[in-house]
Amino acid sequence: MEVRLRSLVAIFLSVLFVSLSAARMSGAGPTSKSDTSDLEVKPTQLSFKDIAGLSKFVYRSNNDYRGRKYFPQPMCGGIAVLDFDRDGRLDLFFTNGARLPELKKVDSSFHNCLLRNAGQGKFEDVTEKAGLSGVDLDFGFGVAAADYDNDGFTDLFVCNAGRNALYRNQGDGRFVDLTAGSGLDRKPADLLSVCAAWLDYDADGLLDLIVSQYTFWNPKTDVRCVRDGKDDSYCHPRTYRAVPHNLYHNLGNGKFEDVTEASGFSKALGKGMGISIADFNRDGRMDIFVANDTERNFFYLNKGAGKFEEEGLLFGVAYNDQGITVSGMGCDSADYNNDGWVDIFYNNLQTQIFALFKNQEGGFFEYVSPVSGVERLSRRFSGWSNGFIDYNNDGWKDIYSSNGDVDYFPPNAEQHDTLFESQNGEKFVDASDGLGPDFLRMGFQRGSAFLDLNEDGFLDIVVTSLNQSPRIMLSSGGNGNHWLRVQLTGKKSNRDAIGAEVKVTTGAGRALYGHVNPSVGFMSSSEKTLHFGLARETAVKSVEIRWPSGKIQQLTNVPADKVLKVEEAQ
Protein backbone atom coordinates (compact mmCIF):
# COMPACT_ATOMS: atom_id res chain seq x y z
CA MET A 1 0.00 0.00 0.00
CA GLU A 2 2.72 2.41 1.08
CA VAL A 3 4.85 1.45 -1.91
CA ARG A 4 1.93 2.16 -4.21
CA LEU A 5 1.33 5.54 -2.60
CA ARG A 6 5.02 6.38 -3.00
CA SER A 7 4.94 5.45 -6.69
CA LEU A 8 1.91 7.66 -7.18
CA VAL A 9 3.69 10.55 -5.45
CA ALA A 10 6.77 9.89 -7.58
CA ILE A 11 4.67 9.90 -10.76
CA PHE A 12 2.95 13.11 -9.68
CA LEU A 13 6.32 14.75 -8.98
CA SER A 14 7.73 13.61 -12.35
CA VAL A 15 4.68 15.01 -14.15
CA LEU A 16 5.04 18.27 -12.22
CA PHE A 17 8.73 18.42 -13.09
CA VAL A 18 8.10 17.75 -16.78
CA SER A 19 5.38 20.42 -16.89
CA LEU A 20 7.63 22.94 -15.18
CA SER A 21 10.49 22.16 -17.56
CA ALA A 22 8.18 22.42 -20.55
CA ALA A 23 6.82 25.73 -19.28
CA ARG A 24 10.33 27.01 -18.83
CA MET A 25 11.50 25.90 -22.26
CA SER A 26 8.51 27.38 -24.07
CA GLY A 27 8.70 30.56 -22.04
CA ALA A 28 5.01 30.05 -21.21
CA GLY A 29 3.38 30.61 -17.89
CA PRO A 30 2.99 33.55 -15.59
CA THR A 31 6.61 33.68 -14.40
CA SER A 32 8.35 37.02 -14.63
CA LYS A 33 11.85 37.32 -16.04
CA SER A 34 13.53 37.30 -12.62
CA ASP A 35 11.47 34.27 -11.53
CA THR A 36 12.70 32.39 -14.56
CA SER A 37 16.34 33.18 -13.86
CA ASP A 38 15.80 32.09 -10.24
CA LEU A 39 14.51 28.76 -11.52
CA GLU A 40 17.53 28.40 -13.72
CA VAL A 41 19.97 29.17 -10.90
CA LYS A 42 18.31 26.86 -8.37
CA PRO A 43 16.52 24.06 -10.18
CA THR A 44 16.34 22.01 -6.96
CA GLN A 45 15.51 23.05 -3.44
CA LEU A 46 17.37 20.68 -1.20
CA SER A 47 18.50 21.83 2.21
CA PHE A 48 20.68 20.54 5.03
CA LYS A 49 19.69 20.20 8.68
CA ASP A 50 22.20 19.90 11.52
CA ILE A 51 21.19 16.98 13.75
CA ALA A 52 24.22 17.08 16.09
CA GLY A 53 22.01 18.58 18.81
CA LEU A 54 19.96 15.36 19.01
CA SER A 55 22.90 13.59 20.64
CA LYS A 56 24.83 14.13 23.85
CA PHE A 57 28.54 14.55 23.24
CA VAL A 58 31.03 17.15 24.38
CA TYR A 59 33.43 17.17 21.42
CA ARG A 60 34.33 20.54 19.96
CA SER A 61 37.55 21.12 18.07
CA ASN A 62 39.80 22.98 20.51
CA ASN A 63 42.86 24.71 19.04
CA ASP A 64 43.61 26.45 22.36
CA TYR A 65 43.58 29.95 20.90
CA ARG A 66 43.60 32.29 23.89
CA GLY A 67 45.29 35.42 22.49
CA ARG A 68 48.79 34.10 21.80
CA LYS A 69 48.91 32.65 18.30
CA TYR A 70 50.77 29.44 17.48
CA PHE A 71 51.41 28.45 13.90
CA PRO A 72 49.34 25.20 13.66
CA GLN A 73 46.23 26.51 15.45
CA PRO A 74 44.24 27.20 12.25
CA MET A 75 44.35 23.45 11.44
CA CYS A 76 42.13 21.60 13.88
CA GLY A 77 39.26 19.15 13.57
CA GLY A 78 39.92 16.24 11.19
CA ILE A 79 37.02 13.83 10.54
CA ALA A 80 36.83 10.15 9.61
CA VAL A 81 33.75 8.21 8.57
CA LEU A 82 33.91 4.50 9.42
CA ASP A 83 31.64 1.69 10.50
CA PHE A 84 34.00 0.59 13.29
CA ASP A 85 31.62 -1.98 14.82
CA ARG A 86 30.25 -3.30 11.52
CA ASP A 87 26.61 -2.88 12.48
CA GLY A 88 25.92 -1.35 9.06
CA ARG A 89 25.72 2.23 10.35
CA LEU A 90 28.46 4.75 9.73
CA ASP A 91 30.24 6.16 12.79
CA LEU A 92 32.30 9.35 13.14
CA PHE A 93 35.78 10.04 14.50
CA PHE A 94 37.18 13.54 15.16
CA THR A 95 40.74 14.71 15.92
CA ASN A 96 41.51 17.52 18.32
CA GLY A 97 44.18 20.03 19.38
CA ALA A 98 46.31 20.38 22.52
CA ARG A 99 47.19 22.88 25.23
CA LEU A 100 49.92 25.29 24.08
CA PRO A 101 52.77 25.81 24.64
CA GLU A 102 52.73 22.53 26.62
CA LEU A 103 51.68 20.66 23.46
CA LYS A 104 49.70 18.14 25.51
CA LYS A 105 46.09 17.04 25.75
CA VAL A 106 45.98 18.21 29.38
CA ASP A 107 42.23 17.73 29.80
CA SER A 108 39.27 16.12 28.08
CA SER A 109 38.46 19.26 26.05
CA PHE A 110 41.41 18.28 23.82
CA HIS A 111 40.51 14.61 23.45
CA ASN A 112 39.81 13.05 20.08
CA CYS A 113 36.30 11.64 19.79
CA LEU A 114 34.53 8.54 18.47
CA LEU A 115 30.78 8.80 18.01
CA ARG A 116 28.91 5.55 17.50
CA ASN A 117 25.89 5.84 15.23
CA ALA A 118 22.99 4.45 17.26
CA GLY A 119 20.45 4.95 14.47
CA GLN A 120 17.56 7.43 14.20
CA GLY A 121 20.07 10.27 13.84
CA LYS A 122 21.52 9.67 17.32
CA PHE A 123 25.16 9.25 18.27
CA GLU A 124 26.76 7.86 21.40
CA ASP A 125 30.20 8.98 22.61
CA VAL A 126 32.27 5.79 22.91
CA THR A 127 35.73 7.39 22.85
CA GLU A 128 36.88 6.06 26.23
CA LYS A 129 35.60 2.55 25.65
CA ALA A 130 37.28 2.47 22.25
CA GLY A 131 40.60 3.74 23.62
CA LEU A 132 40.72 6.61 21.14
CA SER A 133 40.91 9.74 23.34
CA GLY A 134 44.56 10.21 22.34
CA VAL A 135 45.71 11.39 25.79
CA ASP A 136 49.24 10.26 24.96
CA LEU A 137 49.28 12.19 21.66
CA ASP A 138 49.62 15.94 21.14
CA PHE A 139 48.05 18.37 18.64
CA GLY A 140 46.18 16.26 16.07
CA PHE A 141 45.43 17.14 12.45
CA GLY A 142 44.33 14.70 9.76
CA VAL A 143 42.97 11.19 10.06
CA ALA A 144 42.93 8.41 7.45
CA ALA A 145 40.53 5.50 7.91
CA ALA A 146 41.07 2.17 6.15
CA ASP A 147 41.44 -1.53 6.83
CA TYR A 148 45.22 -1.77 6.48
CA ASP A 149 45.39 -5.40 7.66
CA ASN A 150 42.41 -6.65 5.60
CA ASP A 151 40.65 -8.21 8.61
CA GLY A 152 37.32 -6.53 7.83
CA PHE A 153 37.56 -3.88 10.55
CA THR A 154 38.43 -0.30 9.65
CA ASP A 155 41.58 1.05 11.32
CA LEU A 156 42.75 4.64 11.86
CA PHE A 157 45.95 6.58 11.26
CA VAL A 158 46.11 9.92 13.08
CA CYS A 159 48.54 12.71 12.10
CA ASN A 160 50.01 14.89 14.84
CA ALA A 161 52.61 17.54 15.59
CA GLY A 162 54.52 14.91 17.54
CA ARG A 163 54.39 11.21 16.87
CA ASN A 164 51.69 9.85 14.58
CA ALA A 165 49.43 7.00 15.65
CA LEU A 166 48.34 3.76 13.96
CA TYR A 167 45.25 2.39 15.70
CA ARG A 168 44.24 -1.16 14.89
CA ASN A 169 40.55 -1.92 15.25
CA GLN A 170 40.41 -5.09 17.38
CA GLY A 171 36.87 -5.91 16.25
CA ASP A 172 35.46 -5.83 19.80
CA GLY A 173 34.83 -2.09 19.95
CA ARG A 174 38.38 -1.28 21.01
CA PHE A 175 41.32 0.17 19.14
CA VAL A 176 44.94 -0.57 20.06
CA ASP A 177 47.83 1.79 19.33
CA LEU A 178 50.28 -0.36 17.37
CA THR A 179 52.55 2.44 16.16
CA ALA A 180 55.62 1.35 18.14
CA GLY A 181 57.77 -0.97 16.06
CA SER A 182 55.49 -0.66 13.00
CA GLY A 183 57.95 1.50 11.07
CA LEU A 184 55.47 4.40 11.17
CA ASP A 185 57.06 5.46 14.45
CA ARG A 186 60.33 6.62 12.93
CA LYS A 187 59.31 10.20 12.32
CA PRO A 188 61.91 12.88 13.06
CA ALA A 189 61.12 15.08 16.08
CA ASP A 190 59.00 18.18 15.39
CA LEU A 191 57.94 17.10 11.89
CA LEU A 192 54.40 18.40 11.57
CA SER A 193 52.22 15.79 9.79
CA VAL A 194 49.00 17.25 8.39
CA CYS A 195 47.19 14.66 6.25
CA ALA A 196 47.48 11.00 5.35
CA ALA A 197 45.94 8.75 2.72
CA TRP A 198 45.86 4.99 2.21
CA LEU A 199 46.46 3.54 -1.25
CA ASP A 200 47.88 0.33 -2.65
CA TYR A 201 50.47 1.79 -5.02
CA ASP A 202 52.04 -1.57 -5.93
CA ALA A 203 48.73 -3.49 -6.09
CA ASP A 204 49.90 -6.28 -3.80
CA GLY A 205 46.63 -6.16 -1.85
CA LEU A 206 48.14 -4.33 1.13
CA LEU A 207 47.32 -0.65 1.66
CA ASP A 208 50.33 1.64 1.73
CA LEU A 209 50.38 5.07 3.33
CA ILE A 210 51.35 8.57 2.24
CA VAL A 211 51.71 11.33 4.84
CA SER A 212 51.83 15.00 3.85
CA GLN A 213 54.39 16.82 6.00
CA TYR A 214 54.33 20.57 6.51
CA THR A 215 57.55 21.63 8.25
CA PHE A 216 59.58 21.28 11.44
CA TRP A 217 57.83 23.06 14.29
CA ASN A 218 57.43 23.04 18.04
CA PRO A 219 56.08 25.64 20.48
CA LYS A 220 59.60 26.69 21.50
CA THR A 221 60.68 27.47 17.93
CA ASP A 222 57.28 28.99 17.05
CA VAL A 223 57.89 32.36 15.37
CA ARG A 224 55.78 35.30 16.53
CA CYS A 225 54.44 37.55 13.79
CA VAL A 226 52.68 40.86 14.18
CA ARG A 227 50.27 42.63 11.85
CA ASP A 228 50.34 46.43 11.48
CA GLY A 229 52.82 46.67 14.34
CA LYS A 230 50.35 45.61 17.00
CA ASP A 231 48.27 42.43 16.61
CA ASP A 232 49.63 38.92 16.96
CA SER A 233 49.03 37.16 13.63
CA TYR A 234 49.61 33.75 12.07
CA CYS A 235 52.93 33.92 10.24
CA HIS A 236 53.24 33.52 6.48
CA PRO A 237 54.18 29.91 5.68
CA ARG A 238 57.49 31.13 4.22
CA THR A 239 58.62 31.59 7.84
CA TYR A 240 59.04 27.81 7.92
CA ARG A 241 61.08 25.46 5.73
CA ALA A 242 59.64 23.02 3.23
CA VAL A 243 60.04 19.26 3.69
CA PRO A 244 59.44 16.07 1.67
CA HIS A 245 56.25 14.05 2.13
CA ASN A 246 56.60 10.46 3.28
CA LEU A 247 55.61 7.25 1.57
CA TYR A 248 55.39 4.00 3.55
CA HIS A 249 55.15 0.55 1.99
CA ASN A 250 52.92 -1.94 3.84
CA LEU A 251 54.94 -5.13 4.32
CA GLY A 252 52.14 -7.04 6.06
CA ASN A 253 52.08 -8.23 9.71
CA GLY A 254 51.73 -4.65 10.89
CA LYS A 255 55.10 -3.56 9.50
CA PHE A 256 55.78 -0.62 7.21
CA GLU A 257 58.93 0.37 5.36
CA ASP A 258 59.72 4.04 4.82
CA VAL A 259 60.26 4.18 1.04
CA THR A 260 60.39 7.99 0.80
CA GLU A 261 63.92 7.88 -0.57
CA ALA A 262 63.62 4.78 -2.77
CA SER A 263 60.31 5.89 -4.35
CA GLY A 264 61.60 9.31 -5.36
CA PHE A 265 59.45 11.20 -2.85
CA SER A 266 62.40 12.77 -1.02
CA LYS A 267 63.34 14.95 -4.03
CA ALA A 268 60.31 17.25 -3.81
CA LEU A 269 60.12 19.65 -0.85
CA GLY A 270 56.69 21.07 -0.02
CA LYS A 271 54.33 22.17 2.72
CA GLY A 272 51.80 19.40 2.45
CA MET A 273 48.08 19.77 2.97
CA GLY A 274 45.39 17.65 1.25
CA ILE A 275 46.16 14.41 -0.57
CA SER A 276 44.21 12.82 -3.40
CA ILE A 277 44.60 9.42 -5.01
CA ALA A 278 43.60 8.41 -8.56
CA ASP A 279 44.89 6.79 -11.71
CA PHE A 280 45.03 10.13 -13.52
CA ASN A 281 46.60 8.89 -16.77
CA ARG A 282 44.78 5.54 -16.83
CA ASP A 283 47.83 3.34 -17.06
CA GLY A 284 46.48 1.04 -14.33
CA ARG A 285 48.63 2.50 -11.55
CA MET A 286 47.48 4.77 -8.72
CA ASP A 287 49.00 8.26 -8.76
CA ILE A 288 49.06 10.86 -5.97
CA PHE A 289 48.25 14.58 -5.92
CA VAL A 290 49.30 16.72 -2.93
CA ALA A 291 48.18 20.34 -2.49
CA ASN A 292 50.96 22.41 -0.93
CA ASP A 293 50.63 25.62 1.06
CA THR A 294 52.49 28.42 -0.82
CA GLU A 295 54.72 25.86 -2.53
CA ARG A 296 54.00 24.35 -5.94
CA ASN A 297 51.64 21.38 -5.85
CA PHE A 298 52.92 17.85 -6.37
CA PHE A 299 51.65 15.36 -8.91
CA TYR A 300 53.42 12.05 -8.27
CA LEU A 301 53.05 9.86 -11.31
CA ASN A 302 53.36 6.16 -10.46
CA LYS A 303 55.96 4.68 -12.83
CA GLY A 304 55.69 1.13 -11.47
CA ALA A 305 58.33 -0.92 -9.58
CA GLY A 306 57.87 1.34 -6.55
CA LYS A 307 59.02 4.50 -8.35
CA PHE A 308 57.24 7.84 -8.61
CA GLU A 309 58.10 10.93 -10.61
CA GLU A 310 56.85 14.32 -9.50
CA GLU A 311 55.49 15.87 -12.71
CA GLY A 312 53.21 18.67 -11.51
CA LEU A 313 54.83 21.19 -13.80
CA LEU A 314 54.54 18.99 -16.89
CA PHE A 315 50.88 18.17 -16.15
CA GLY A 316 49.99 21.79 -15.45
CA VAL A 317 48.84 21.41 -11.83
CA ALA A 318 51.89 22.84 -10.02
CA TYR A 319 50.73 26.46 -10.25
CA ASN A 320 47.63 28.44 -11.15
CA ASP A 321 47.20 29.97 -14.62
CA GLN A 322 49.41 32.91 -13.71
CA GLY A 323 52.28 30.60 -12.80
CA ILE A 324 52.18 31.48 -9.13
CA THR A 325 51.77 29.40 -6.01
CA VAL A 326 48.73 29.70 -3.75
CA SER A 327 47.84 28.45 -0.28
CA GLY A 328 46.65 25.03 -1.41
CA MET A 329 44.44 23.44 1.26
CA GLY A 330 42.29 20.36 0.83
CA CYS A 331 41.85 18.61 -2.51
CA ASP A 332 39.74 16.04 -4.27
CA SER A 333 39.94 14.12 -7.50
CA ALA A 334 36.92 12.91 -9.46
CA ASP A 335 35.53 13.05 -12.96
CA TYR A 336 33.24 16.09 -12.78
CA ASN A 337 32.44 16.32 -16.49
CA ASN A 338 31.71 12.61 -17.07
CA ASP A 339 34.32 12.13 -19.80
CA GLY A 340 36.07 9.23 -18.05
CA TRP A 341 39.13 11.18 -16.94
CA VAL A 342 39.73 12.10 -13.28
CA ASP A 343 39.92 15.86 -12.63
CA ILE A 344 41.39 17.79 -9.68
CA PHE A 345 40.01 20.46 -7.34
CA TYR A 346 41.68 22.28 -4.44
CA ASN A 347 40.72 25.34 -2.47
CA ASN A 348 42.85 28.14 -0.98
CA LEU A 349 42.53 31.58 0.58
CA GLN A 350 40.26 34.48 -0.32
CA THR A 351 41.29 36.36 -3.50
CA GLN A 352 43.46 33.39 -4.59
CA ILE A 353 40.65 31.57 -6.49
CA PHE A 354 39.81 27.90 -5.93
CA ALA A 355 41.41 25.70 -8.57
CA LEU A 356 39.53 23.37 -10.89
CA PHE A 357 41.73 21.40 -13.27
CA LYS A 358 40.17 19.49 -16.16
CA ASN A 359 42.06 16.36 -17.16
CA GLN A 360 42.75 16.43 -20.91
CA GLU A 361 42.80 12.70 -21.58
CA GLY A 362 45.71 11.98 -19.28
CA GLY A 363 48.12 14.26 -21.10
CA PHE A 364 47.80 17.42 -19.04
CA PHE A 365 45.33 19.43 -16.98
CA GLU A 366 43.60 22.60 -18.08
CA TYR A 367 43.00 25.29 -15.43
CA VAL A 368 39.27 25.89 -15.88
CA SER A 369 38.45 28.02 -12.82
CA PRO A 370 37.77 31.09 -15.02
CA VAL A 371 35.58 29.44 -17.68
CA SER A 372 33.67 27.22 -15.23
CA GLY A 373 32.57 30.11 -13.00
CA VAL A 374 34.65 28.84 -10.05
CA GLU A 375 36.87 31.94 -10.24
CA ARG A 376 33.95 34.33 -9.80
CA LEU A 377 32.24 32.19 -7.14
CA SER A 378 35.27 31.49 -4.95
CA ARG A 379 37.02 34.86 -4.82
CA ARG A 380 35.75 35.89 -1.36
CA PHE A 381 36.18 32.51 0.37
CA SER A 382 39.04 30.89 2.26
CA GLY A 383 38.45 27.18 1.81
CA TRP A 384 39.89 24.24 3.76
CA SER A 385 38.15 20.94 3.20
CA ASN A 386 36.16 20.22 0.05
CA GLY A 387 34.96 17.54 -2.28
CA PHE A 388 33.16 16.69 -5.48
CA ILE A 389 29.69 15.50 -4.43
CA ASP A 390 26.59 15.08 -6.54
CA TYR A 391 24.40 16.46 -3.76
CA ASN A 392 21.25 16.72 -5.91
CA ASN A 393 21.66 13.37 -7.71
CA ASP A 394 21.45 14.83 -11.21
CA GLY A 395 24.53 12.92 -12.35
CA TRP A 396 26.76 15.98 -12.31
CA LYS A 397 29.27 16.27 -9.47
CA ASP A 398 28.97 19.53 -7.55
CA ILE A 399 31.73 21.16 -5.47
CA TYR A 400 31.46 21.59 -1.71
CA SER A 401 33.91 23.75 0.28
CA SER A 402 34.23 24.34 4.06
CA ASN A 403 35.24 27.97 4.54
CA GLY A 404 36.61 30.45 7.09
CA ASP A 405 39.77 32.54 7.09
CA VAL A 406 43.13 31.46 8.55
CA ASP A 407 43.26 34.35 11.00
CA TYR A 408 40.64 36.12 13.07
CA PHE A 409 40.92 39.57 11.49
CA PRO A 410 37.67 41.09 10.18
CA PRO A 411 36.14 41.63 7.76
CA ASN A 412 35.33 38.29 6.21
CA ALA A 413 37.14 36.16 8.82
CA GLU A 414 34.11 34.06 9.73
CA GLN A 415 32.58 32.52 6.62
CA HIS A 416 30.00 29.94 5.62
CA ASP A 417 30.32 26.79 3.54
CA THR A 418 29.67 26.90 -0.18
CA LEU A 419 28.15 24.49 -2.66
CA PHE A 420 28.86 25.20 -6.29
CA GLU A 421 26.24 23.33 -8.27
CA SER A 422 27.25 21.87 -11.61
CA GLN A 423 24.92 22.91 -14.40
CA ASN A 424 26.09 20.56 -17.13
CA GLY A 425 29.59 19.43 -16.21
CA GLU A 426 31.03 22.70 -17.43
CA LYS A 427 29.53 25.65 -15.54
CA PHE A 428 28.88 26.03 -11.83
CA VAL A 429 26.44 28.29 -9.93
CA ASP A 430 26.46 29.04 -6.21
CA ALA A 431 23.57 27.11 -4.62
CA SER A 432 24.64 27.83 -1.00
CA ASP A 433 21.97 30.41 -0.19
CA GLY A 434 19.14 27.95 -0.75
CA LEU A 435 20.56 25.21 1.47
CA GLY A 436 19.24 26.46 4.79
CA PRO A 437 20.58 28.26 7.90
CA ASP A 438 22.51 25.25 9.21
CA PHE A 439 24.50 25.01 6.00
CA LEU A 440 25.14 28.76 6.15
CA ARG A 441 26.38 28.82 9.78
CA MET A 442 29.23 31.31 10.05
CA GLY A 443 32.55 30.33 11.57
CA PHE A 444 35.95 28.90 10.84
CA GLN A 445 34.95 25.66 9.13
CA ARG A 446 37.75 23.12 8.73
CA GLY A 447 37.38 19.33 8.26
CA SER A 448 34.54 17.79 6.23
CA ALA A 449 33.35 14.34 5.30
CA PHE A 450 30.59 13.00 3.04
CA LEU A 451 28.40 10.00 3.70
CA ASP A 452 24.82 8.86 3.36
CA LEU A 453 24.10 8.85 7.07
CA ASN A 454 20.40 7.98 6.91
CA GLU A 455 20.63 5.78 3.82
CA ASP A 456 18.08 7.73 1.79
CA GLY A 457 20.34 8.02 -1.26
CA PHE A 458 21.19 11.68 -0.71
CA LEU A 459 24.65 12.62 0.54
CA ASP A 460 24.97 14.14 4.00
CA ILE A 461 27.86 16.30 5.23
CA VAL A 462 29.79 16.44 8.52
CA VAL A 463 31.86 19.58 9.17
CA THR A 464 34.10 20.75 12.01
CA SER A 465 34.53 24.42 12.86
CA LEU A 466 37.22 25.87 15.13
CA ASN A 467 36.09 25.90 18.77
CA GLN A 468 32.48 25.12 17.82
CA SER A 469 30.44 21.97 17.90
CA PRO A 470 30.69 19.97 14.63
CA ARG A 471 27.70 19.99 12.32
CA ILE A 472 26.19 16.68 11.25
CA MET A 473 24.09 17.83 8.33
CA LEU A 474 21.37 15.65 6.85
CA SER A 475 20.24 16.36 3.32
CA SER A 476 16.51 16.82 2.93
CA GLY A 477 16.71 14.82 -0.29
CA GLY A 478 13.35 14.31 -1.90
CA ASN A 479 13.85 16.07 -5.22
CA GLY A 480 12.70 12.96 -7.06
CA ASN A 481 16.08 12.14 -8.56
CA HIS A 482 17.26 8.55 -8.51
CA TRP A 483 20.60 7.13 -7.45
CA LEU A 484 22.80 4.09 -7.18
CA ARG A 485 25.40 3.43 -4.52
CA VAL A 486 28.15 0.86 -5.02
CA GLN A 487 29.88 -0.85 -2.12
CA LEU A 488 32.93 -2.90 -3.05
CA THR A 489 34.84 -5.55 -1.14
CA GLY A 490 38.22 -6.63 -2.49
CA LYS A 491 39.49 -10.21 -2.27
CA LYS A 492 42.76 -10.30 -4.19
CA SER A 493 42.72 -6.49 -4.06
CA ASN A 494 42.85 -4.58 -0.78
CA ARG A 495 39.63 -5.35 1.13
CA ASP A 496 38.53 -1.69 1.07
CA ALA A 497 38.93 -1.69 -2.73
CA ILE A 498 40.67 1.68 -2.54
CA GLY A 499 41.62 2.52 -6.12
CA ALA A 500 38.81 0.49 -7.71
CA GLU A 501 37.20 2.27 -10.68
CA VAL A 502 33.52 2.03 -11.51
CA LYS A 503 31.72 2.99 -14.71
CA VAL A 504 27.94 3.18 -14.53
CA THR A 505 25.98 3.22 -17.80
CA THR A 506 22.37 4.28 -17.42
CA GLY A 507 19.44 2.98 -19.42
CA ALA A 508 19.62 6.05 -21.66
CA GLY A 509 23.32 5.42 -22.27
CA ARG A 510 24.72 8.08 -20.00
CA ALA A 511 28.16 7.15 -18.57
CA LEU A 512 29.11 8.09 -15.00
CA TYR A 513 32.48 7.42 -13.36
CA GLY A 514 33.79 7.03 -9.82
CA HIS A 515 36.74 5.53 -7.99
CA VAL A 516 37.17 4.50 -4.37
CA ASN A 517 39.22 7.15 -2.57
CA PRO A 518 38.21 7.98 1.00
CA SER A 519 40.90 10.69 1.24
CA VAL A 520 38.69 13.67 0.35
CA GLY A 521 39.23 17.32 1.22
CA PHE A 522 41.35 18.32 4.19
CA MET A 523 42.40 16.23 7.24
CA SER A 524 39.43 13.93 6.62
CA SER A 525 38.21 10.56 5.33
CA SER A 526 34.81 10.17 3.67
CA GLU A 527 32.81 6.97 3.23
CA LYS A 528 34.15 4.37 0.78
CA THR A 529 30.81 3.64 -0.88
CA LEU A 530 30.59 5.15 -4.36
CA HIS A 531 27.63 7.37 -5.04
CA PHE A 532 26.00 7.99 -8.41
CA GLY A 533 23.12 10.39 -9.09
CA LEU A 534 20.88 9.14 -11.92
CA ALA A 535 18.63 12.19 -12.39
CA ARG A 536 15.21 10.92 -13.62
CA GLU A 537 16.45 7.54 -14.78
CA THR A 538 15.42 4.40 -12.91
CA ALA A 539 17.46 1.84 -14.80
CA VAL A 540 21.14 1.11 -14.98
CA LYS A 541 22.24 -0.86 -18.02
CA SER A 542 25.62 -1.86 -16.62
CA VAL A 543 28.09 -1.39 -13.79
CA GLU A 544 31.67 -2.08 -14.79
CA ILE A 545 34.28 -2.46 -12.05
CA ARG A 546 38.00 -2.38 -12.54
CA TRP A 547 39.51 -3.76 -9.32
CA PRO A 548 42.97 -2.65 -8.11
CA SER A 549 44.17 -6.18 -8.97
CA GLY A 550 43.37 -5.41 -12.61
CA LYS A 551 40.37 -7.75 -12.69
CA ILE A 552 37.33 -6.47 -14.60
CA GLN A 553 33.83 -7.38 -13.44
CA GLN A 554 30.52 -6.39 -15.03
CA LEU A 555 26.95 -6.42 -13.76
CA THR A 556 23.97 -5.72 -15.99
CA ASN A 557 20.39 -4.49 -15.48
CA VAL A 558 20.87 -3.10 -11.99
CA PRO A 559 17.86 -1.46 -10.32
CA ALA A 560 18.20 2.13 -9.10
CA ASP A 561 17.74 3.53 -5.58
CA LYS A 562 19.71 0.83 -3.82
CA VAL A 563 23.13 -0.04 -2.49
CA LEU A 564 24.78 -2.52 -4.83
CA LYS A 565 27.20 -4.71 -2.86
CA VAL A 566 29.87 -6.40 -4.94
CA GLU A 567 32.66 -8.75 -3.91
CA GLU A 568 35.68 -9.15 -6.15
CA ALA A 569 35.34 -12.36 -8.18
CA GLN A 570 38.08 -14.88 -7.46
The stretch among 186-194, 261-269, 323-331, 453-461 that binds Ca ion (CB under 5 A) is 453-461
10 Å Cβ neighbour count for 186? 12
The stretch among 62-70, 263-271, 342-350, 450-458 that binds Ca ion (CB under 5 A) is 450-458
Beta strands in 305-427 (DSSP E): 307-310, 331-334, 343-346, 355-360, 364-367, 383-389, 398-403, 418-422
Interface residue with Ca ion among 310, 398, 438, 501 (CB under 5 A) is 398
Rank residues 70 and 153 by Cβ distance to Ca ion and give the closer one.
Answer: 153
Rank residues 190 and 456 by Cβ distance to Ca ion and give the closer one.
Answer: 456
| Residues in 120-159 at the binding interface with Ca ion, rule: CB under 5 A | 147, 149, 151, 153, 155
| Residues in 22-61 at the binding interface with Ca ion, rule: CB under 5 A | none
- Helices 2-26, 33-41: inter-axial angle, 10-degree rounding: 130
Pattern 166-205, Ca ion, x by CB under 5 A: ----------------------------------x-x-x-
> Is residue 206 at the binding interface for Ca ion, with CB under 5 A as the rule?
yes
Work out how close the CB of 491 gets to Ca ion at its nearest, in angstroms, rounded to a whole number: 15
**Through-space distance between the first and last CA atoms of the chain, rounded to whole angstroms:** 42
Work out how close the CB of 397 gets to Ca ion at its nearest, in angstroms, rounded to a whole number: 6
Cα–Cα dist 185/180, whole Å: 6
The number of C-alpha atoms within 13 Å of 206 and in the hemisphere containing its C-beta is 13
Work out how close the CB of 518 gets to Ca ion at its nearest, in angstroms, rounded to a whole number: 14
The stretch among 9-17, 100-108, 126-134, 460-468 that binds Ca ion (CB under 5 A) is 460-468
> Is residue 456 at the binding interface for Ca ion, with CB under 5 A as the rule?
yes
The stretch among 15-23, 180-188, 322-330, 457-465 that binds Ca ion (CB under 5 A) is 457-465
Using CB under 5 A as the binding criterion, the count of chain residues that bind Ca ion stands at 21
| Continuous segment of H or E residues that includes residue 552 | strand 552-559
In 3D, which of 28, 34, 30, 46 has the Cα closest to residue 480?
46
Interface residue with Ca ion among 57, 84, 341, 396 (CB under 5 A) is 396
Cα–Cα dist 34/238, whole Å: 47
10 Å Cβ neighbour count for 11? 10
Work out how close the CB of 240 gets to Ca ion at its nearest, in angstroms, rounded to a whole number: 32
Interface residue with Ca ion among 460, 501, 527, 537 (CB under 5 A) is 460
Secondary structure class of 465 (helix, strand, coil): strand
Interface residue with Ca ion among 64, 310, 335, 394 (CB under 5 A) is 394
Cα–Cα dist 417/519, whole Å: 19
Cis peptide bond upstream of 244, omega within 30: no
Interface residue with Ca ion among 293, 295, 390, 501 (CB under 5 A) is 390
Secondary structure class of 371 (helix, strand, coil): helix
Interface residue with Ca ion among 452, 501, 537, 568 (CB under 5 A) is 452
> Is residue 414 at the binding interface for Ca ion, with CB under 5 A as the rule?
no
The partner residues of 177 in beta bridges, in order of sequence, read: 167
- The answer to whether the CB of 274 falls within 8 A of the CB of 221 is no
Q: Which residues of the shown chain bind Ca ion in the complex (CB under 5 A)?
A: 147, 149, 151, 153, 155, 200, 202, 204, 206, 208, 390, 392, 394, 396, 398, 452, 454, 456, 458, 460, 475
